[in-house]
Amino acid sequence: MHDIHSTITEGGRIVIPADYRRALGLKVGDEVILRMADGEVHILTRSQAIKKAQALVRKHIPERKSLVRELIRERRGEAANE
C-alpha cells in the first residue's frame, strides 16, 4: 500500500481509508488498538495485538511447556488443600 494523507477532524477523529480497512478486515464497530512507539502511532486489530502478545510471552516459555496445564495443576492443588 502507499502513503495517504488524512486530516484530523473535530474530536481528534481520523478516517482510515476503505482500502486499509479492507486489508485489515475491519468493519464498522470493530475495536482497534492504538499503540505509540518511537513517536509513531500504530493501529492494530485485536487479533494482531493478541498475536504480538502471545509471541512476546512465548519467547520466555520453554517450547513444550503449557501454561494452561500448569495453571490447572496449580488450581487443583489449591482446591485439594482447602
Q: How does pLDDT run across 9-40, given as a tens digit for each residue?
A: 999 999 999 999 999 899 999 999 999 999 99
Task: Give just the sign of the alpha carbon dihedral 39, 26, 17, 51.
Answer: positive
5: in domain: no
22: in domain: yes
Domain count, the chain: 1
Q: What is the CATH number of the domain that holds 36?
A: 2.10.260.10
- Contact 31/23 with Cβ under 8 angstroms? no
Helix (H) / strand (E) element for 28: namely: none
Give me 53's grid cell: 502478545
**pTM, rounded to two decimals:** 0.60
